[in-house]
């Protein structure tokens, strides 16, 4: 697939110069100008091909430019781009129905990002609580977004530096520590918010019984249980939603990242008996649930179903687990391997930044989070051959690390 655009791109170094002059430097960026993607492959302006094990920071769950999403968006963009939420849109209603039927039968509020979805959940929890209760318990190592509410919910001091005073009413317990969470509950608490599997925190899977215990605490104390599935949701773990692995249903669930197959979109779902607390006028997002996001969201769910990608995610997870457990046996720099479908964390005994850089030099894109965890969020439709090819490179890079 060659388009006229291919010849018109700036090269990588000219692009870096533009950024230095005109784009705020709040991200650490690799000096590479990406110009085209297809499935799990992406190309830069020099024509280099990369195998992408971290497509779109988890947003491109079914690969770059999935054909079903491309078609749906192309059709929609020529029909109706945007109308406000003062009107009904059949596509938004149908999208909400599809999400509801694949989760816990709730109703949806649509927005554009994960942080926004979590802000909606925080507001809903406060609005729903009786008697002025407002405190929300969250967990260390969690990540909920960068707006001030979601940021305060994010119990990681490094993200708070210089930004105080933060929003009142958030309390932190160690992830996995049920007793600590229980001790924080008082008569001002309204909710507990948690990622069922922590993403940024290093692909941390909670200890057995933790989420069940939180459910029980919420039931006993009249609190809402909010699951942030922005990273784990929409099929990533081999179930539609990560909570379905644990047999624990939340009262509120937030989604974004992969929700629209790479198009910006977010959602908060909640049970029908809670939803009315978000009364007319109490919350809004101008672009939320717009027709393009809705069509992309529907196409993403349909593609996952039609192509059998939930099973594929499970199979890929098994492949990655096998591959890196074998590496762990040979190589003591690998501390732990944590896998849930196409959400993979390889915890090293050393910092992982060098691994990312060396993989990039070998044209494999991976991520490092929490300093020592190599995180992979590959597409659910990554082929077996691509998986093997990338694992080979990554294993080789890790094997050549200085011994712990």
Ligand X SMILES: *Cc1c(COP(=O)(O)O)cnc(C)c1O
Task: Write out the residues near ligand X by the rule CB under 6 A.
Answer: 113-115, 118, 143-145, 195, 199-200, 228, 230-231, 256-257
Comparing CB distances to ligand X, the nearer of 205 and 397 is 205
Q: For ligand X, give the closer residue by CB, 102 or 204.
A: 204
Instruction: Look up residue 204 and give its DSSP letter.
Output: B
- Determine the residue with CB nearest ligand X: 114
Sign, Cα dihedral of 69, 75, 81, 83: negative
Locate 180 and state its tokens. Answer: 């600590």
Euclidean distance between CA atoms 341 and 329, whole angstroms: 21
DSSP, collapsed to helix, strand or coil, labels residue 392 as: helix
Q: CA angle at residue 283 from 108 to 166, to 5 degrees? A: 110
Catalytic residue among 110, 228, 251, 320: 228
d(CA 367, CA 199): 12
Closer to ligand X by CB, 231 or 372: give it.
Answer: 231
Angstrom distance (rounded) from CA 169 to CA 327? 44
Burial 321-350 (b: 16+ CB within 10 A, else e): eebbeebbeebebbeebbbbbbbbbbbbeb
Q: Which member of 104, 143, 241, 324 is catalytic?
A: 143
- Tell me whether residue 228 is one of the annotated catalytic residues: yes
Tell me how long the chain is.
404
Smallest distance, ligand X to C-beta of residue 339, A: 17
Q: Which residues contact 183 (CB under 8 A, 6 or more apart)?
A: 173
Q: Which is nearer to ligand X, 359 or 377 (CB)?
A: 377
Q: Give me the least distance between CB of 285 and ligand X, in Å please.
A: 12
Least distance to ligand X, CB of residue 152, Å: 13
Catalytic: 54?
A: no
Residues 6+ away with beta carbon under 8 Å from 307: 62, 381
CB 317 within 8 A of CB 205: no
Cα–Cα dist 47/35, whole Å: 9
- To ligand X, the closest distance from the beta carbon of 230 in angstroms equals 4
Residue placing its CB nearer to ligand X in the complex, 138 or 386? 138
Of 210, 251, 257, 320, which is the active-site residue?
A: 257
Q: Is 143 a catalytic residue?
A: yes
Residue 355 backbone dihedrals phi, psi, to 5 degrees: -65, -45
Query: Toward ligand X, which CB reaches closer, 36 or 239?
Result: 239
Whose Cβ is closer to ligand X: residue 63's or residue 145's?
Answer: 145
Residue position matching structure tokens 């990242």: 257
3-class state of residue 275 by DSSP: helix
Nearest distance from C-beta of residue 253 to ligand X, angstroms? 11
Kindly state the smallest distance separating residue 204's Cβ from ligand X, in Å: 11
What's the rounded Cα separation, in Å, for the pair 164 and 141?
Answer: 19
- CA–CA separation, 195 and 86 (whole Å): 32
Shortest Cβ distance from residue 234 to ligand X (Å)?
12
Active site residues: 143, 228, 257
């Amino acid at each position: 697939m060659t388009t006229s655009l291919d010849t018109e791109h700036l090269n990588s170094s000219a692009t870096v110069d533009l950024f230095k002059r005109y784009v705020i430097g709040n991200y650490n960026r690799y000096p590479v100008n990406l110009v085209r993607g297809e499935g799990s492959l992406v190309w830069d302006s020099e024509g280099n091909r990369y195998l992408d094990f971290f497509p779109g920071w988890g947003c491109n769950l079914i690969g770059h430019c999935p054909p079903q999403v491309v078609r749906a968006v192309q059709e929609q963009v020529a029909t109706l781009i945007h109308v406000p939420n003062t009107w009904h849109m059949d596509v938004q209603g149908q999208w909400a129905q599809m999400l509801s039927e694949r989760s816990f039968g709730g109703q949806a509020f649509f927005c554009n990002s994960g942080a926004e979805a979590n802000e909606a959940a925080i507001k809903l929890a406060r609005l729903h609580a009786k008697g002025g209760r407002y405190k929300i318990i969250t967990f260390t190592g969690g990540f909920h977004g960068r707006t001030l509410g979601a940021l305060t919910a994010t119990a990681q001091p490094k993200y708070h530096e210089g930004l105080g005073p933060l929003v009142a009413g958030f309390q932190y317990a160690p992830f996995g520590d049920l007793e600590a969470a229980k001790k924080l509950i008082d008569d001002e608490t309204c909710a507990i918010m948690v990622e069922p599997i922590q993403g940024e925190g290093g692909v941390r899977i909670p200890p057995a019984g933790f989420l069940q215990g939180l459910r029980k605490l919420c039931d006993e104390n009249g609190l809402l249980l909010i699951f942030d599935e922005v990273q784990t949701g929409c099929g990533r773990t081999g179930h539609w939603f990560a909570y379905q692995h644990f047999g624990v249903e939340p009262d509120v669930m937030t989604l974004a990242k992969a929700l629209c197959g790479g198009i910006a979109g977010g959602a908060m779902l909640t049970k029908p008996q809670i939803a009315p607390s978000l009364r007319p006028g109490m919350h809004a997002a101008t672009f939320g649930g717009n027709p393009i996001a809705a069509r992309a969201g529907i196409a993403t769910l349909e593609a996952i179903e039609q192509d059998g990608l939930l099973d594929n995610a499970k199979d890929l997870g098994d492949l990655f687990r096998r591959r890196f457990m074998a590496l762990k046996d040979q190589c003591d720099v690998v501390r732990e391997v944590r896998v849930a479908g196409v959400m993979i964390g390889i915890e090293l005994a050393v910092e992982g930044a060098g691994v990312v850089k060396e993989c990039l030099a070998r044209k494999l894109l991976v991520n490092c989070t929490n300093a020592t965890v190599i995180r992979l969020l590959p597409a659910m439709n990554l082929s077996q051959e691509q998986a093997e090819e990338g694992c080979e490179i990554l294993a080789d890079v890790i094997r050549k690390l200085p011994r712990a």
